[in-house]
Structure 1
Amino acid sequence: IAAGDAAAAQRALTLAGALEVPQAQIAPVALRLRQLQARRAGLDALFAQAVSAQQQGRLDGSPDSALPLYQRILTLAPDRTDALEGREDALTDLLAQARQALARDALADAAVLLAAAKRYDAGHADVPLTEGHYHRALEQRRQRAQGLLRRGRLAPAARDFTAVLAAEPADVVAQRGLEQVADEYAAQAGRQAADFQFDAALQSLQEAKTLLPGAAAIAQAEQAIARARDAQRSPETGLSRSARERRLRALLQRVAAAEAQQQWMTPPGASAYDAVRAAQALAPRDPRVLQAAARVVPASQRCFEDELRNNRLRAARGCLDAWQALTPNGDALAGARRRLAQRWVAVGSERLGQEDAAFARRAQDEAHQLDPGLPELAEFTRRVKAMTEQR
């Protein structure tokens, strides 16, 4: 009875009766045997339910699924070979389903199935194989998302980063990637607003908000849209065609005059940059305006490099914003944003060492606005948070 062998116990009890062992001794043992047989009958019924559920493909997910039933049996009778073998087969099927989910790109489904299998038996023979498939699929999806982002295909990149996060919510690469997609949507909204394409700008802005509601770039895009609306409502936008042309020529003459005096970015309001921006608000697609902007761009780039070299980071940001306003799609902009973000982190780290937590937080915010995917930003953010919590 102690070993769970009801048949052997029954034979021994029958022999005891034949040998005329006193009933007072037989009765309590017979009671224990009946209790064992009742338990075995209950476990047998559970085993039958488990087998039936397994045959129907109901492996996990509810109390009457195969694996939970096998687990109940093994909790009460750990040595039941039939239940151990049944669980082994059910886990083999469950892990096969996980690999099938990976084959159809369903990362989140695969993650759930793999985690369930490991809860029941992390040492199952098929776990390493399935985990290998899973991690390769994750890495492929990450790389595909990053490639799509580099090519400017924001919607599919967002879908891939989101798929990775659905499977692995703490995945740092996917989190940063989604931040970059949101920032790109916000930047796109700003460019569309500059061309008075407000429906498209609002759509891009909404995409950014959906992906990352608290992104710093969203506030910048909202400001850009507001400025563009103000420009559209200005008296100049209601000018007749001839009056608009006269105004545009006057602005272009101002650009030329400022260029002749090397007044590229200063003085404020009278620089070549200011005249170009006024012309862009009036006729953003006019070839003459585009040519004037192209001439001023090198000045904004020189301004950025000079200010960055002298560690005047806020001034460098102003030059960078001017550069971006003139050529929103410039190839070198991303690199410039990263360099400025790195400089903010470097200066912020130095000030953090001097226990200037307020400046370090500002540096963190500036770097995040410029380049949320900056590799060294995560560690800097952790250090800033640690110092803030100490205070």
Structure 2
Amino acid sequence: MTSQEPDTQSQGRQRREPSLGRFDELRFAKPADRTPRTSVTQRVLSWDWRWILTALLLVLMLLLVLRQPLSNWLWPQTRAERLHERAARALAQGRLTAADGTGARELYSAALALDPDRTDARAGLDRVGQAALAQARAAISRRRFPQAHEALELAEDLSVPRAQVETLREQLRRNEAASVGIDELLKTAAAARGNGKLEGADGALPLYQRVLELEPGNTQALEGREDTLSDLLQQATTRLDAGDLAGASVVVRRVQQADAGHVELPDALAALARAAESKRKQGDRELRRGQLTKALENYGAALLVNPEDAEALNGVQAVATAHARRSERHAADYRFSEAEAELRQARTIAGSSAAQSPAIAQAQEHLARARQSQRQSSTASTPTASQRTRVAQLLADATRAQARGDLLTPPGDSAFDKLRAARAIAPHDPRVHAASARLVPAAADCFSDALRANRLVRAGGCLDARRALEGDTATVRESRRELARRWLALGDQRLGAGELQGARAALDAARTLDPATEGLDALAERLRTALLAPAEQGRQ
């Protein structure tokens, strides 16, 4: 009975059936997006639509501004067509050429450069040439002669048939002659010549030339120009006689430009060449005497007549070499300001060839070594104990070498080399000075003995030793002149024996020792003649 009691009770209450409720009132949670996002995507999603619109507008503006360059780059044919169209418009407007590139000629040329196979661009240039002829005709008829000349020049530049251009040019010349008054020009030119005014804007020569431009066959103008050129050549002769080679050269060159076939011109050119040769030889003499400034002036005068004169150019380089050698001598005496000045002069004279000059390079090295030697001397003013011992040893070796007669040889073990090494270590050491003084007579004897034995190369070495020991004294200079004379005599002997190279070497040695040695010019001229003889015989 107990099992049935619940059922009875539930029936007494109202039964509720289960229900799902209203679906339209349900609110579902959004599922989390588990897809990974890149930083770029996140930035794009975070942009505001206004910024995106602004960026798009900027891109559109850039495309509008750059549409022409982009079009030219992507489609060059389109640019050539546009140039052709612009050129055609310029031609139709009569704007044949323009300095700013907007003329028909320039535009057609630009189109042709972009596409060389365009026949229409070539045809356009031909039309420009014919239009230039038409403009020239119109300018002549309106008596606008400068414009006519410009139009004819344009037509000629565009390869218009020469016959067409010359026909119009002759017509222009006749019209100009009729307008300016040839007779009046001739009278003005004759009056200018009578007053001695041969050149200048209203001088006789330009006036006669103006008439001949208008009437090339005008006899009076031809004769007047001939007489005027003769007057100018007379002025050149007067300047030449006064030693003004530069002024004479300028006048003769002007005459040559005006009329290269003038009857008196060959004589004037020959006189100019003789004067240039005289200047060149005078430069050689001044160079041998050591007068470098005067030598350079004379070589320069010769080069005014002929800038390619090989001998004058060599003379200029010889002057530069002489300055370089002077620099070496000053550097050896520690006179550095004078050495630098001479070296600068050498570089200036040598010009573009200074870098290839052995003499200048040697002078630079010598100057650097002299500076280093001076620095070493100043720092070595108080030699150490070991240096003093070394100096004593070197001086003892020098004494023994001198006793053996080894003044200059063998290299490194000679008395002079040992003394030089000691001087490099302790230049102010009294013992070094005493040894130098003792070696001076030996060096003088060495020079005299070598000279008597005709051993000129050894005599030169002995002379160098004397100069290093004594300095450039009067005695050393006289010995140098004596050695130069001996070399000159040897050169004369070698030349007489037909040994041309030996003669040249002896001549160079004499010139190096003493450029003012008497007889150098004569031997040099004889040697030059002897060297030319085989070449002339070969041509015969």
**TM-score interval w.r.t. the shorter chain?**
0.5 to 0.7
- Does the CA contact (< 8 Å) of 1:252 and 1:292 recur in 2? no
Could you list the structure 1 runs, at least 4 aligned residues long, displaced by more than 6 angstroms after superposition.
246-252, 283-287, 298-302, 319-323, 333-339
Larger RCO, structure (CA 8 Å, separation 6 or more):
1
Count how many residue pairs are aligned between Structure 1 and Structure 2: 310
Q: Residue 218 of structure 1 aligns with which residue? A: 360
Q: From 205, 211, 216, give the equivalent of 1:73.
A: 211
Partner letter of residue 270 of structure 1? D
Residue deviations 1:295-351, cap 9 Å, x none? Answer: 56689999xx79x9xxxxxxx9xx988975765863447997999xxxxx98xxxxx
Q: From 277, 280, 285, give the equivalent of 1:147.
A: 285
Q: From 212, 229, 245, give the equivalent of 2:371.
A: 229
- Does the CA contact (< 8 Å) of 1:324 and 1:333 recur in 2? no
User: 2:485 and 2:367 mapped to 1: Cα distance?
Assistant: 21
Partner letter of residue 271 of structure 1? S
Instruction: Please state how far the C-alpha of 1:106 moved relative to its aligned partner.
Output: 2.8
Structure 2 gap ranges (5+): 1-169, 492-499, 502-511, 513-523, 532-540
Q: 1:83 to 1:231 in 2, by over 3 A?
A: same
Q: From 63, 71, 85, give the equivalent of 2:223.
A: 85
Instruction: Please state how far the C-alpha of 1:51 moved relative to its aligned partner.
Output: 4.6
Instruction: Please state how far the C-alpha of 1:187 moved relative to its aligned partner.
Output: 1.0
Q: TM-score, normalised by structure 1?
A: 0.60
- Does the CA contact (< 8 Å) of 2:276 and 2:301 recur in 1? no
Q: Secondary structure at the residue paired with 1:143?
A: helix
- Does the CA contact (< 8 Å) of 1:265 and 1:299 recur in 2? no
Residue deviations 1:255-310, cap 9 Å, x none? Answer: 443222343445544323324545777489986675565456689999xx79x9xx
Q: 1:65 to 1:326 in 2, by over 3 A?
A: farther
- Does the CA contact (< 8 Å) of 1:272 and 1:296 recur in 2? no
Partner letter of residue 261 of structure 1? R
Q: From 153, 164, 173, give the equivalent of 2:302.
A: 164
Q: From 167, 170, 175, give the equivalent of 2:313.
A: 175
Tell whether 2:253 aligns with 1:111: no
Partner letter of residue 113 of structure 1? V
Q: 1:80 to 1:118 in 2, by over 3 A?
A: same
Q: 1:335 to 1:231 in 2, by over 3 A?
A: farther
Q: 1:204 to 1:248 in 2, by over 3 A?
A: farther
Q: 1:289 to 1:267 in 2, by over 3 A?
A: closer
- Does the CA contact (< 8 Å) of 2:408 and 2:461 recur in 1? no
Q: Secondary structure at the residue paired with 2:243?
A: coil
Instruction: Please state how far the C-alpha of 1:216 moved relative to its aligned partner.
Output: 1.5
- Does the CA contact (< 8 Å) of 1:300 and 1:323 recur in 2? no
Partner letter of residue 258 of structure 1? A
User: 1:65 and 1:287 mapped to 2: Cα distance?
Assistant: 76
User: 2:346 and 2:259 mapped to 1: Cα distance?
Assistant: 42
Identity %, equivalent residues: 35
Residue deviations 1:52-96, cap 9 Å, x none? Answer: 665676645x77654344234224423323212321232122212
User: 1:151 and 1:165 mapped to 2: Cα distance?
Assistant: 21
User: 2:462 and 2:213 mapped to 1: Cα distance?
Assistant: 69
Q: From 404, 413, 417, give the equivalent of 1:261.
A: 404
Q: From 316, 320, 341, give the equivalent of 1:203.
A: 341
Q: Residue 187 of structure 1 aligns with which residue? A: 325
Q: 1:161 to 1:227 in 2, by over 3 A?
A: same
Partner letter of residue 367 of structure 2? I
Q: Residue 39 of structure 1 aligns with which residue? A: 177
Task: Single out whichever of 250-259 and 192-201 deviates more from structure 2.
Answer: 250-259
Q: 1:277 to 1:103 in 2, by over 3 A?
A: farther
Instruction: Please state how far the C-alpha of 1:128 moved relative to its aligned partner.
Output: 4.2
Q: Residue 270 of structure 1 aligns with which residue? A: 413
Q: 1:160 to 1:249 in 2, by over 3 A?
A: farther
Q: 1:189 to 1:297 in 2, by over 3 A?
A: farther
Instruction: Please state how far the C-alpha of 1:165 moved relative to its aligned partner.
Output: 1.5
What's the C-alpha RMSD, in Å, of the aligned pairs?
Answer: 5.0
Q: 1:192 to 1:44 in 2, by over 3 A?
A: same
Partner letter of residue 167 of structure 1? V
